[in-house]
Amino acid sequence: MTASRTVNRGVKIVGLLALIALALAFPSLAPDPFILSVGVVIMSYAVLATSWNFVGGFTGYISLGHAAYSGLGGYATALLILDAGLNPWVAMLLGAVGVALLAVPIGIASLRVRGASFVIVSIALVLIMLLAFQSWGSVTGGSNGLRVPRPFGPEVLRPEQHERFFYLHLALLAIALFTWWAIDRSRFGIGLKAIREDEDKAEALGVPTFSYKLAVFVVSAFFTALGGGLYALWFGFLDPIFQFSILVGSYMVLMSLLGGIRSLFGPLLGAVIVGYALEFFKAQYGDTQFHLVALGLLLALVVLFMPDGIIPAVGQLVARFRPQAASIREQTQAELAAQRRGEASEPDRDDAMAVSGEEARR
């Protein structure tokens, strides 16, 4: 069993190193700037889906309104650069901190409900943000949008900007994944997973369910805002209709469900599949809504045949073909011979003990 675990751990390490090497080499392997820009979009989706998975994966609460936090992160970054004259990276970090602080009262209000009620509250939040930012044209630009100054000067060409932002998104994704991994192996993570399985029972056992939910909700909002701010710096333009779109929040849910919300790399795998599919359909069919039909069919197939996601389904398939440990421990010939010698010498020891006892009585 120990050897099997060692082999499995070695396979996982090799796979992780191969994944890291492939991600680092992607900008040099991309045949043209368009493919490189698609890679940036996929990395952005991966950051957002992983950020959503802090809430969805740990607590089981399904939020369709997480686009509110990515949109707020993007606008906070842009406004801090334009109005306060801050450094773009400082503005992105401060904007994410501000969104995390705003998520505290939002979480206190919304996390008191569960199930479909929580989904409705999350949708209402993103719609309120959409109406507010469209109406507040003097600050946000309204429906005309808002230009975001890029952090790199005009001497940096567009392909080079794609490459830099790809690595920046990759670094942010690595931090989000490491944070998710650390929480998953902590006492805090155990409490969150107890909430996911049975919140009432977890509360009866002494888990501070509301505090745990609120804490992970704020962490999720923080990383989602960072993803939104970094995307704003790369894209250079913000539009309330896109930034506060329910579709963006739905993409986060779909990516996480597709890959597996209970696994570390599930949202990443889902982002690669869904992100590539979105860009492919948009390039092939333009402004038609065919990509929405295709994604709807994909979600239906996942729910029907892989309800836990691709990674758990593949893991279960591999486990079927893996050699199972025997329920009765196998013994070698030497062990059997030693056991027989021990059984044969047992009567001699009994006789010796009887003789010594008789002598002691005399």
- More confidently predicted of 112 and 158: 112
> Quick check: 8 pLDDT over 50?
yes
Return the C-alpha torsion angle 346, 352, 358, 362, nearest 10.
Answer: -160
Q: Establish how many alpha carbons lie within 13 A of residue 40's alpha carbon, considering only the half-sphere containing its beta carbon.
A: 24
Q: Where are the domains of the chain?
A: 27-321
- The span from the CA of 161 to the CA of 141, in Å, is 25
Q: Give pTM, 2 decimals.
A: 0.85
Integer angstrom CA distances of residue 311 from 39, 61, 256:
21, 20, 11
Report the CATH fold assignment for 27-321. ABC transporter involved in vitamin B12 uptake, BtuC (1.10.3470)
Q: Looking at residues 34-61, what average pLDDT do you find? A: 94
pLDDT digits (tens, 9 = 90+) for 201-229: 999 999 999 999 999 999 999 999 999 99
**pLDDT score for 299:** 75
**pLDDT score for 326:** 46
- The span from the CA of 75 to the CA of 253, in Å, is 22
pLDDT digits (tens, 9 = 90+) for 280-305: 888 877 667 777 787 778 778 877 88
pLDDT digits (tens, 9 = 90+) for 133-170: 999 888 888 888 899 988 887 777 888 999 999 999 99
